[in-house]
Amino acid sequence: MSEGIAADFALLRGEPPLKYLAKANRMAAEGRDIVRFEIGQPNFDTPDNVKEAAKKALDEGFTHYVPTLGIPELIEAIRDDVEKTRGFRPDEDQVMVLPGAKPGIFFGLMTTVAMGDEVIYQNPFYFQYDSLIGYMGAKKVQISLYEKDEFRMTPQQVQDNISDKTGLILLNTPQNPTGGVLTKKDIKAIAEMAREHDTYILSDEIYSKMLYEGEKHYSPSYLDQCKERTIIVDGFSKAYSMTGWRLGYMVAPKEIIHKTDLLFADVASCTASFVQKGGVEALRNGQSFVDNIMEHFTRRRKAIVEGLNEVPGMSCIYPKGAFYVFPNIKETGMKSEELALHLLDEAGVCLLPGTAFGSQGEGYLRISYARSVEEIRKGIDRMKTAMEDIL
Ligand SMILES: Cc1ncc(COP(=O)(O)O)c(C=O)c1O
């Protein structure tokens, strides 16, 4: 009996960093107090008005299938938000609601990349990209990110790697895992290169509302308004603290939306109806929540960066967006995995080795500072003690 196509696909996938999480969970179950710096989600509750909107929808019986593309009310709210944040208003048939940003990335790749096409993306990367590009049988063209460039993928690097074999450029700004942000100049140059080489751009903008120090978000969609080659993926998980709701969207050329509509109808019929009502409320009346959590994140960012720069063997630059830092640990002489495990065992601090996000993460750790300032300080104090003991 055949094992099915998934068995072959599984071989193409790297291993996610589950062992750290599993170990931390085991230690916590045994009563050890663990500081959790590995979790990539805000530790705030979803705003009450968003919960109320979804509850109201449930009470009113809004519990059946809705259009595969998404409910018109949410599509309208997304169009308004894109107009406000990216400076153009997508047409109705350029928007699709999906259960999270991840499906946007999946369908974005599925509808544009053929087997053997080259896909340009950053290393370190968000784990899903590397897996999916592997599943798709596309060729991985990874661009190394360097601390000296503040972990930006530079236009020169893209220029050196783009060719007529390039099917798609995958951008992620602000970036997971480094917090790096592409400048307006970077975005302009990369968007123009994509046009010259007639290649798609998939732009994961899930952290676009999470920027610091007056930094602005620039989207490569400015050039074609998502009419020809640019696909924006965004969602509600991070800025509105809605990871469990599973809600996101894509804005894309209408042929891509049409293909995704057909595919998604086969996969799941639609995104949960009442969840979408919560999304409408988040986009229409959620800005004060985003402003409020960004004030918290600004304080946390300062606490984590200042703290890490006091830990022996570590140094850390300020991230420009998202809620991750990528401290340099090269001075310790230890491998990232070795140090991550050491800090878990000795300090009870769970974080991820930079290598969980690709080879270029060697010599770095990834910390999510979606924790209170008190927890951040506790984690830093413990890391200081653990590092003083070995250095
Ligand atoms: C860069 C990036 N894209 C997408 C996602 C997934 O977002 P969602 O929960 O909306 O699927 C994450 C989550 O960590 C992420 O870091």
Same domain, 174 and 216: yes
CATH classification of the domain holding 141: 3.40.640.10
CB 248 near ligand 1, within 6 Å: yes
Which residue in the block uniquely carries the two structure tokens 């220029």? 159
d(CA 310, CA 384): 8
CB 235 near ligand 1, within 6 Å: yes
Minimum mean pLDDT range among 20-29, 147-156, 256-265: 20-29
pLDDT given at position 13: 64
Q: How far is the CA of 243 from the centre of ligand 1 (A)?
A: 9
What residues contact residue 382 under an 8 Å CB cut-off, 6+ apart? 35, 347, 348, 349
Please state the domain count of the chain.
2
For the chain, how many residues are written? 391
Same domain, 198 and 340: no
CB 134 near ligand 1, within 6 Å: no
Please identify, by atom number, the ligand 1 atom nearest to the C-alpha of residue 172.
1
d(CA 63, CA 297): 35
Question: pTM value?
Answer: 0.96
| Residue 56 covered by a domain | no
C-beta atoms surrounding 361 within 10 Å: 23
Same domain, 40 and 151: no
CA atoms within 13 A on the CB side of 326: 30
Mutational pocket test of ligand 1: of 39, 206, 271, the residue with most ligand atoms within 8 Å of the beta carbon: 206
CB 172 near ligand 1, within 6 Å: yes
Nearest-CA residue for ligand 1 atom 14 is 40
Same domain, 138 and 264: yes
C-beta atoms surrounding 311 within 10 Å: 24
CB 102 near ligand 1, within 6 Å: yes
Same domain, 41 and 71: no
| Residue 54 covered by a domain | no
pLDDT tens for each residue of 210-265: 999 999 999 999 999 999 999 999 999 999 999 999 999 999 999 999 999 999 99
